Amino acid sequence: MALEKVESIGRRFMAQAIDHVAELDPNRRFCIIPKGPDCPDGFSDLTFERLAHAPQLTSIRNSQAAQVCLLEMTGCTRVAYSVERKQTVDKIQELFLGLQSVQIPSLYEMFEGNSSPYPFSKKFDNVKNEVAFIGHSSGTTGFPKPIRLTYGFFAALDHGAYVPIPPDRTAGVPDRLTPSDLILATTPFFHLMGFTVFVMAAFHRIPCVILPDRPVSNEFLSSVIDSLKPTAALVAPCILEDMSTSPKAMEALSSLRHVYYGGGPLASEIGNKICQRTKLINFIGMTEAGFVLSLVPQEKEDWSYFEWSPSFGIKMEPMDDGRSEMVILRNEKPDLQPIFNTFPELDDYHTKDVYTPHPTKPRLWKFHGRIDDVIVLSNGQKFNPVTMEKIIEGHPLVSRAVVIGLARFQTALLVEPNWNLWDESGSKNQFVDEIWPTVREANNISPAYGRVMKNRIGLASHSKPFSTTPKGSTQRRLVNDNYKEEIDKLYTNPADQAFDYAFHKSADLGSVMESVREIICDSIGLPTIADETDLYSVGFDSLQTFQLSIVLNRTGFTTLTPQMIYEHPTVGKLSNFLFALLNGVESNGICRSENVNLLLSKYTAGLPDLEATKTHSVILTGSTGSLGTYLLHRLLSDNSVAKVYCLNRSNVEERQTKSFDHKGLKTELLEKAEFLTASLSKERLGLEKEKYDELIYTVDTVIHNSWRMDFNISLHSFEDQIQSVRRLIDFSLQSVRRAHFYFNSSIGAIGGWKLADGPSVPEELFDNCEVTLNQGYGQAKHVCERICHAASRAGVPTTILRLGQIAGPTTEEGAWNSTEWLPSIVLTSKSIAKIPKTLGSMPVDWIPVDTLATIIIEIIESRRMTEAESRCSVFHLVNPLTTPWESLLTPLHERYAVQRVSMKEWIEELEKIQKPSDEDMLEKPALKLLPFYKSLVEGEGALSVPICVRRAREASKTMQSMGPISANLMAMWINQWQF
């Protein structure tokens, strides 16, 4: 593809965008392609330099008649196919005379070979309305219809990625990812969601993973994610529902920063579960309209709702039943709306997609089906069941038939018998047997994913006839509503239908093989299939795999799983496997000789192996405070931390997210956190027994960071805080992994140390309560330190962290809380034009809050190696490099006109204000803290000896390299306060 000039965004071709990157950065990864059908076969990078050009795709899931119909409507005369599709193409050629075919190499072989340039010299304005690609509809009104997509259509998709979005909002379309991401698409390219990744790779350099041509199972997807480490994935709802049942698959999902799903609704319980582990984003698109621009809802619990981008021209048109239809209106910039390239003659496009509004948030909308009779399965597949229903209703015993399936993994059938010919007391199985040949006939004209299984057929009640319109048409929605309970039972406990297949222990391999072949051919509509033909190369999919496992289980293999079929994907392999089960292998598919290992594994599962623990689960209290927020961020950034349970007095998840945003921390990391409302001084920490038990089995680290900040109250007023420490100690004693307890104490616990006590304060525990400050705060910390020491003798590893003054962050984002004592000095000094030239007895040995969080995490990592030899350790966390207060005043003088005075004079200036007004309290907040500032002048709490930090420096490399508080830091904090 020769390229002289790349057109501007919104006016360029995919071919040109690819060539442009190929020239500038030829080795940049475009996507990752498989070398074979399985993960062990490996993957290979496909660079922009190697990329070929492909104009047209069609779904392999279409019926043969549907494929012929598409070929006829598009005037197609030639089809290209890979070797595994030969049988399908041969059948189509029998029905479509004159169709030429050419067999092409596999994808991997194609890109490994040599290729020559493909000239592409078109100008955008000349070909904007020419067809670039032919997709097709899902066949919602019969056969699929071709949809001709123009160059202008794709240019509009390109343009949409650069539309501004409101501040502090996230786009709901994956084209806002970056070239440093890697996106995994689990749907094929003939599906818009799958083709999306190709468009994003071409236009926006977002590399993607192309999966092998095989069904997508839990095990397979988990292996791909573990192997290739994608950062985002586009997943059909049915796949997410399947993954939610597997702990390994959920761990794989947790490693992704974004999980986009679309094509159909996702069950609430599944979405609620997944959104606790990763960022779950609902996005929507249509073949004819491309992506619908939307915004990610601001609240995590609204994951199932859409909020439309203001620039896309969406109007929600009310309907009589309280729902609304999505209508796309042509706006002033139609180049942002791909639909008006597909249908240039329209000024509005009625999607026929129906939504319901959020009960309290007017901008949010939830998908609620279609206006027409289209069924949208949970895997995103759509089909119109009317033709099927009419064929079934042609049977004399059937009065009315309704195919069910909205938001379900597969279809079901609800039949209202002709009560003139059928007695309700008759056998249900007999009725199904009578109509089954007609249902099979209806299945033959349906796409594979729309076919009805025999055990998914239910009968209506004589006392509850189907609702109909005045014209006599069946009211599908009302039937679904009226029979909701029966439909749910049909899915959770399908009828025990009889099958025509049976396997006997006396059967030989040949008869087993013929029965298996018959079952499979009946499932996929082929007259026959060779012994060694891979089922998944001729259109077998995950739904049919699931259905086949059900059929085989009902013929005697009571615990056959879909995974066993995946592992034996040919008639020959599956038959040999089943034959072995009939002759010497137990019905669970495991040889008798392996059962000892099975039981051993089963009954040793869950026993702790403290030496082998590679990941950690952590309880963190007080996560929303300044230090707590940075501690949480550091924990979540640690790959060895699997989960953090944040215990707070109330539901603080939204507040925590805002705090992360304000401090410039990665909010997507919060997907590894679970926020629990707790009462730490109560039994089981105030948690439900089930949740408490979960923590007992998983947590190995407890960081107690929550504490009441009040220097005026007495020791006894801290008893609830002390009781909380004991409750957490009790938790550690009960925990399976004997959780290590970290207590954030205070330098105040040793603030009464005198020179007579020693030349420096060592990092040790003291039984002498005289070393504490004469205040309730320090005394309470001292009591808790001694509780920690007692707990260590009882077997709980403990660590005491004596914290000094915590300063503001070292980053531009975030700020030192403006209500604290130092910011209060700065604002008050600005107001009275005077600033203290010393801080009395206080040394500037502060540690910035984000640096302190790093130090604490490093100490935790160090203690995991030393806890066996030292069951209780103490660390002093003060800056070993002090700095004079005077050196920090320069940025204050540069910003404010202030005079340096003694701290005593500064306090006296404030004491002149006898009756402060509200304005005084606002402009001079130091008035509220005068007792504290007086204590600095009087030397209360001032240590006359240095504080030893040797142990802390040994455990933390950050502590070793940390510098003193600088004037530059002070200047940054002043700028953050904006006084």
Where is pLDDT greater, at 432 or 34?
432
pLDDT in tens, 99-137: 888 887 766 566 665 666 656 667 777 777 887 777 776
* Bridge partners, residue 136, by sequence: 146
The enclosing domain of 571 has a CATH number of 1.10.1200.10
Whole-angstrom distance, CA of residue 51 vs CA of residue 913: 77
534 and 654 assigned to the same domain: no
Q: Same domain, yes or no, for 291 and 364?
A: yes
Radius of gyration of the chain (CA): 35
Distance of CA 501 to the CA centre of its chain: 42
* Residue 816 and residue 977 in contact, taking contact as beta carbons nearer than 8 Å: yes
Tell me, yes or no, whether 337 lies in a domain.
yes
Last residue of a domain, one of 424, 459, 492: 492
* Residue 921 resides in a domain: no
- Clarify whether residues 573 and 627 are in a common domain: no
Q: Find where tokens 């033909």 sit.
A: 533
* Assigned domain for 210 exists: yes
Give CA 893 to chain center in angstroms. Answer: 49
Task: Report the number of distinct structural domains present in the chain.
Answer: 4
The whole-angstrom separation of Cα 287 and Cα 278 is 28
> pLDDT for 373-394, tens place per residue?
778 887 677 777 877 888 898 8
Is residue 911 over pLDDT 80? yes
Return the SS3 of 827: helix
444, 466, 492: which is the final residue of a domain?
492
Would you state the pLDDT for residue 665? 93
CA nearest 150: which of 352, 349, 337, 294? Answer: 337
| Residues 527 and 394 both lie in one domain | no
Separate counts of helices (H) and strands (E) for the chain: 35, 35
Question: In sequence order, what are the beta bridge partners of 279?
Answer: 258
Q: 414 and 364 in one domain?
A: no
> Domain for residue 837, yes or no?
no
- Do 425 and 557 have their domain in common? no
Selection from 267, 300, 301, 307 nearest residue 284 by Cα: 307
Q: How far apart are CA 66 and CA 913, in angstroms?
A: 88
Do residues 412 and 421 lie in contact, with contact meaning Cβ atoms separated by under 8 Å?
no
d(CA 367, CA 387): 25
- Residue that finishes a domain, picked among 370, 400, 428: 370
User: CA 425 to CA 421: how far, in whole Å?
Assistant: 12
Nearest Cα to Cα of residue 267 among 293, 297, 243: 243
For residue 571, give its domain range: 509-596
Tell whether 814 and 679 lie within a shared domain. Answer: yes
Interatomic CA distance for residues 137 and 736, integer angstroms: 55
Token look-up 């049919």 returns: 544
Does 497 fall in a domain?
Answer: no
- Each residue of 648-675: pLDDT tens digit? 988 889 899 999 999 999 999 999 999 9
Check if the beta carbon of residue 53 is closer than 8 Å to that of residue 127. no
Distance in angstroms (rounded) separating the CA atoms of residues 863 and 348:
65
pLDDT band at residue 589 using 50, 70 and 90 as cut-offs = very low
Question: Would you say residue 585 has pLDDT above 60?
Answer: no
Dist. CA 514–CA 531, nearest whole Å: 10
Q: What CATH number has the domain bearing residue 676?
A: 3.40.50.720
- Residue in the structure block whose two tokens are 């041969």: 90
DSSP for residue 883: B
Instruction: Of 388, 355, 349, 387, give the one whose Cα is nearest residue 371.
Output: 355
Q: Do the domain assignments include residue 357?
A: yes
As a whole number, the mean pLDDT across the chain is 82
Confidence of residue 609 (pLDDT cuts 50, 70, 90): low
Are residues 537 and 475 part of one domain? no
Helix, strand, or coil (residue 554) = coil
Query: Measured between alpha carbons, how far is residue 107 from residues 58, 113, 191, 447 in Å?
Result: 16, 10, 18, 26
In this predicted structure, which of 201-215, 446-460, 688-702 has the lowest mean pLDDT?
A: 201-215
Q: What is the pLDDT of residue 470?
A: 52
Q: How confident is the model at residue 44 (pLDDT cuts 50, 70, 90)?
A: low
Cβ neighbours of residue 210 closer than 8 Å, sequence gap 6 or more: 31, 32, 33, 34, 107, 185
Residues 128-174: tens digit of each pLDDT: 788 777 777 655 444 567 788 888 888 887 887 778 888 888 888 88
CATH of residue 390: 3.30.300.30
DSSP 10: T
CATH number, position 95: 3.40.50.12780
Contact 397, 422 (CB under 8 A): yes
pLDDT of amino acid 495: 42
Residue count (the chain): 979
Has residue 536 got a pLDDT over 90?
Answer: no
Q: Which of 199-203, 228-232, 823-827 has the lowest mean pLDDT?
A: 199-203
